[in-house]
Amino acid sequence: MASFSPRELTDLYAMQKVQVKVTNALGIHARPSAKIAHLASMFSCTVWLAIPGRRANARSIVAVMSLAAAVGSTITIETNGPDEKEAIDALIDLIGREFAARR
């Protein structure tokens, strides 16, 4: 039987964190917020978006919109949980292609 110390148990999922620049001409308004919330809801990990001074649950359209992230601003994406790497990669991809559908 395997034995883990409490420290090892908490380190199973180390939070992923990355900063992304908003390049969409209109920033993160209603439609991009809905796309982010929909995508974040597809993963079991927790997903947060942050700008200096504010943090929002990425699964909430209203919370994401309230960040009012304008074009050129930098947002931090934080994920924590079993599929955190996949979630952060998917969000980076979505924001990087300016919320456009995949071709």
User: Residues 13, 24, 27, 29: which is the catalytic one?
Assistant: 29
* CATH superfamily, with its number, for domain 15-96: HPr-like (3.30.1340.10)
Q: Going by DSSP bridges, is the β-strand pair 16-21/74-80 parallel, antiparallel, or unpaired? A: antiparallel
Average pLDDT value for the chain:
87
CA distance 59 to 34: 9
- Catalytic residue status for 38: no
State the sign of the Cα–Cα–Cα–Cα dihedral 2, 43, 14, 88.
positive
pLDDT digits (tens, 9 = 90+) for 61-91: 999 999 999 999 999 999 999 999 999 999 9
CA distance 97 to 74: 15
Answering whether pTM is above 0.85, one says no
